[in-house]
């Protein structure tokens, strides 16, 4: 083993045999496979790979903003969303059963109630698209292009884009107004998008604002002709407005199908419960599901009343893995962008349900750590968790090298592989995002929030170990090392080619260099108890960021673990010097915590 960049270890190449550290795919989708991506397949979209990349180079917009979905594909998006949000999908006892049951429901509803009406849907799409185009063109003619009549670009719209690279476009934006005028118009569109009640106009304003903003970032002004800008805005607006309208169109058909097929509709809840699991890819989030089901029963609720939000189960409905041939290992990457698009549409649909008082209980299992919505400065505004009255949030702490090995086994069994670099990058994102998500909810005073950190470095099939848990402003820490690991696992090497190469040198992994999250917990959570895992006895307590009480003998037992001693003396040096005698505090806090009295999933206590 040698030392690579950044002081990380590096293993010699492992040969040709495929395995977890040599899965046979990289973090980037090879260019020759792009046409296989679900956002570029001609049966799904109107946009070719070449046109999308050409437009991205010119506009700075992302590929997912530039592809224009066909109405048949928008129908599929809205069907997946409504089954997820509105119907009870049997989870089964095995990992794969939820996806199998979901796809069977989608097939039956589609074949019996939606596919026979596809001509009607396409006709409605064309009508909506024409109305959008007329409004976008009228709006451009009244603002940015008020002095420049539309002129068709020879060779089609995207040939016009290519011509624009040479700055040779005719009928460009009003030169007299310049970038300042364009920016004023763009801000006005953004304001109207927020205030507009009409969904067509709202989508058009949002798309126009986004297109001009991207061009300004890329070029400093609107360097595009009217036809090109119309096409850009129309595509984005159609993906938005037409999808939402198609969803409303098919809703009664889905309801009729559910009734006739005997599917259970999720009941609206006056006080919704949300169970949210956060963790890196392949950290074991889905393995908590049976334990969460038992928790739901414990608190007197019904598991069938929970919407199971697990977007990964959509992948095999978006793409026939068996059709990929030698490209089968890239199935996950080939569905990734479209999955993200549908996931954000699901958020919008759930927000509408909440606004109408129709929110059900939720179980959320997805890899997303985006806490802030684009139009909000409130933490948590972009998370479905915000709809819960009672919230249970679970954080999975799994060693990053183990996620690589688990992902490989999952790929062999279910056909969904990830590159090593992607998996390790997801770990960094997860452990960087956990503290913000945790404090966002643990410090809420307007909701009941139960949190639990779980150590999933246990053999397959065993129950994870509870690291820490609590309600709102009270936290019980059972495993100091687990909270230190949250900090450690942000520092890993995404280019590792073996387990030993994942982690920094020992001095960088030392406890005293990784106590930031632990310190933040003490400083920000009003009451923090440090508790022996086996006995449930508290050995130290912090209140309002100050050491309030210690039990000398129990503390000495805890300090027998070098990492506990190093961590606590690093964040609170006074713990070894302050007076110990406080009989009143001892009476208040010395009683052992009983695992059966708490809503934890992991193992702790006798």
Q: What global pTM score does this model have?
A: 0.89
Same structural domain, 248 and 281: no
> What does the block give as tokens for 385?
């968790």
> What does the block give as tokens for 309?
């939000």
SS3 content of the chain, % helix, strand, coil (to 5): 55, 10, 35
Same structural domain, 192 and 284: no
Instruction: Give yes or no for a contact between 445 and 472, defined as CB atoms under 8 angstroms apart.
Output: yes
Same structural domain, 164 and 298: no
28: in domain: no
pLDDT at 153 over 90: no
Q: In the listed set 195, 227, 261, which residue is the last one of a domain according to the structure?
A: 261
CA angle, 380 then 386 then 392, to 5°: 100
Same structural domain, 222 and 333: no
Q: In the listed set 213, 238, 261, which residue is the last one of a domain according to the structure?
A: 261
In which band, very low, low, confident or very high, does the pLDDT at 157 lie, cut at 50, 70 and 90? low
User: What's the total number of domains in the chain?
Assistant: 2
> Looking at residues 370-382, what average pLDDT do you find?
46
CA-nearest of 331, 326, 293, 327 to 315 is 331
24: in domain: no
Which strands make up the sheet holding 538-543, listed edge to edge? 306-309, 361-365, 273-278, 390-397, 448-455, 465-471, 474-477, 527-531, 538-543, 546-550
pLDDT value of position 92: 86
pLDDT value of position 165: 38
Same structural domain, 279 and 218: no
Phi then psi for 12, rounded to 5 degrees? -65, 155
Helices within 238-288 (DSSP H only): 243-261
pLDDT value of position 1: 53
Neighbour tally for 528: CB within 10 Å: 24
Instruction: Give yes or no for a contact between 280 and 426, defined as CB atoms under 8 angstroms apart.
Output: yes
Strand partners, 580: none
Q: Going by DSSP bridges, is the β-strand pair 465-471/474-477 parallel, antiparallel, or unpaired?
A: antiparallel
The residue with greater pLDDT, 272 or 381, is 272
Instruction: Give yes or no for a contact between 544 and 457, defined as CB atoms under 8 angstroms apart.
Output: no
Same structural domain, 104 and 222: yes
CA-nearest of 505, 500, 501, 522 to 568 is 522
Same structural domain, 122 and 189: yes
**Percentage of the residues of the chain whose pLDDT score is greater than 90:** 77
Neighbour tally for 92: CB within 10 Å: 14
d(CA 19, CA 11): 14
DSSP H/E element including 461: none
Which pLDDT tens digit goes with each residue over 256-269?
999 999 999 999 99
CA-nearest of 529, 544, 526 to 588 is 529
Which pLDDT tens digit goes with each residue over 317-359?
999 998 999 899 999 999 999 999 999 999 999 999 999 999 9
DSSP 197: -
Measured in whole angstroms, how far is the alpha carbon of residue 434 from the centre of its chain? Answer: 12
In which band, very low, low, confident or very high, does the pLDDT at 159 lie, cut at 50, 70 and 90? low
SS (H, E, C) 140-170: HHHCCCCCCCCCCCCCCHHHHHHHHCCCCCC
C-alpha R_g of the chain: 27
Same structural domain, 308 and 235: no
Looking up residue 439, the CATH number of its domain turns out to be 3.40.50.300
12: in domain: no
Instruction: Give yes or no for a contact between 393 and 276, defined as CB atoms under 8 angstroms apart.
Output: yes
Same structural domain, 295 and 423: yes
Same structural domain, 240 and 324: no
> Which of 352-361, 517-526, 594-603 has the lowest average pLDDT?
594-603
Helices within 262-364 (DSSP H only): 289-298, 315-318, 331-355
In which band, very low, low, confident or very high, does the pLDDT at 222 lie, cut at 50, 70 and 90? confident
In which band, very low, low, confident or very high, does the pLDDT at 562 lie, cut at 50, 70 and 90? very high
Q: In the listed set 238, 261, 284, which residue is the last one of a domain according to the structure?
A: 261
In which band, very low, low, confident or very high, does the pLDDT at 581 lie, cut at 50, 70 and 90? low
> Looking at residues 465-482, what average pLDDT do you find?
96
Which pLDDT tens digit goes with each residue over 121-135?
999 999 999 999 999
Kindly give, in sequence order, each residue whose CB lies less than 8 Å from that of residue 337, ignoring residues fewer than 6 positions away. Answer: 37, 38, 39, 63, 64
pLDDT value of position 451: 97
Tell me the residue length of the chain.
606
Residue 538, helix vs strand vs coil: strand
Which pLDDT tens digit goes with each residue over 417-432?
999 999 999 999 999 9
pLDDT at 13 over 70: no
37: in domain: yes
15: in domain: no
pLDDT at 574 over 50: yes
Strand partners, 396: 454
In which band, very low, low, confident or very high, does the pLDDT at 6 lie, cut at 50, 70 and 90? low
Range of the domain at 107: 33-261
CA-nearest of 521, 516, 510 to 477 is 521
pLDDT value of position 579: 57
> Which of 325-339, 397-411, 497-511, 588-602 has the lowest average pLDDT?
588-602
pLDDT at 215 over 80: yes
Same structural domain, 428 and 346: yes
Outline where DSSP puts E strands in 402-477.
448-455, 465-471, 474-477
268: in domain: no
The residue with greater pLDDT, 149 or 522, is 522
7: in domain: no
Measured in whole angstroms, how far is the alpha carbon of residue 415 from the centre of its chain? Answer: 21
Same structural domain, 462 and 515: yes
Which pLDDT tens digit goes with each residue over 192-207?
999 999 999 999 999 9
CA angle, 536 then 537 then 543, to 5°: 110
602: in domain: no
């Amino acid at each position: 083993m040698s030392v690579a960049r950044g002081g990380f270890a590096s293993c010699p190449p492992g040969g040709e045999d495929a395995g977890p550290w040599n899965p046979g795919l990289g973090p980037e989708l090879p260019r020759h496979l792009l046409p296989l991506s679900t956002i570029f397949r001609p049966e799904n979209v109107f946009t070719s790979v070449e046109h999308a990349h050409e437009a991205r180079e010119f506009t700075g917009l992302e590929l997912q903003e530039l592809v224009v979905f066909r109405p048949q594909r928008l129908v599929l998006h809205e069907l997946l969303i409504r089954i997820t949000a509105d119907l009870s999908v049997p989870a089964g006892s095995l990992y794969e059963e939820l996806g199998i049951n979901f796809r069977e429901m989608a097939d039956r509803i589609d074949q019996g109630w939606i596919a026979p009406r596809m001509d009607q849907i396409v006709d409605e799409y064309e009508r909506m698209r024409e109305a959008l185009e007329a409004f976008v063109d009228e709006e451009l003619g009244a603002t940015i292009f008020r002095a420049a009549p539309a002129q068709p670009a020879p060779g089609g719209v995207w040939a016009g884009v290519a011509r624009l690279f040479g700055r040779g476009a005719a009928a460009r934006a009003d030169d007299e107004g310049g970038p300042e005028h364009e920016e004023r118009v763009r801000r006005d569109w953004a304001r109207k998008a927020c205030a507009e009640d009409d969904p067509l106009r709202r989508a058009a304003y949002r798309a126009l604002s986004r297109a001009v903003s991207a061009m300004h970032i890329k070029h400093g002004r609107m360097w595009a002709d009217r036809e090109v800008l119309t096409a850009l805005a129309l595509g984005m607006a159609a993906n938005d407005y037409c999808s939402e309208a198609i969803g409303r169109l098919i809703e009664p058909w889905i309801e009729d199908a559910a009734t006739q097929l005997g599917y259970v509709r999720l009941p609206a809840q006056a006080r919704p419960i949300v169970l949210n699991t956060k963790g890196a890819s392949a950290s074991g989030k889905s393995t908590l599901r049976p334990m969460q089901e038992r928790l739901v029963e414990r608190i007197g609720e019904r598991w069938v009343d929970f919407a199971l939000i697990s977007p990964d189960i959509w992948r095999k409905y978006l793409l026939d893995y068996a059709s990929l041939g030698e490209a089968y290992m890239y199935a996950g990457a080939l569905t990734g962008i479209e999955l993200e698009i549908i996931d954000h549409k699901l958020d919008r649909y759930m927000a509408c349900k909440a606004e109408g008082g129709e929110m059900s209980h939720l179980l959320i299992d997805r890899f997303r750590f985006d806490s802030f919505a684009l139009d909000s400065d409130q933490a948590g505004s972009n998370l479905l968790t915000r709809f819960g009255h009672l919230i249970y949030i679970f954080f999975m702490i799994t060693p990053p090298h183990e996620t690589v090995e688990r992902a490989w086994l999952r790929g062999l069994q279910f056909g969904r592989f990830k590159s090593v670099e992607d998996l390790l990058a997801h770990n960094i994102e997860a452990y960087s995002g956990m503290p913000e998500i945790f404090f966002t909810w643990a410090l809420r005073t307007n909701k009941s929030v139960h949190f639990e950190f779980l150590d999933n470095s246990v053999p397959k099939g065993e129950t994870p170990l509870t690291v820490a848990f609590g309600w709102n402003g009270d936290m019980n820490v059972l495993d100091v090392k687990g909270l230190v690991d949250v900090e450690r696992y942000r520092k890993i090497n995404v280019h590792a080619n073996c387990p030993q190469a994942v982690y920094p040198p020992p001095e960088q992994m030392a406890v005293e260099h990784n106590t930031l999250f632990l310190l933040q917990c003490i400083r920000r959570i009003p009451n923090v108890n440090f508790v022996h895992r086996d006995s449930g006895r508290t050995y130290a307590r912090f209140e309002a960021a100050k050491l309030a009480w210690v039990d000398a003998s129990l503390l000495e037992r805890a300090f027998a673990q070098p990492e506990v001693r190093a961590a606590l003396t690093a964040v609170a040096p006074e713990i070894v010097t302050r007076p110990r005698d406080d009989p009143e505090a001892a009476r208040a806090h010395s009683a052992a915590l009983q695992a059966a009295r708490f809503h934890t999933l992991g193992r702790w206590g006798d």
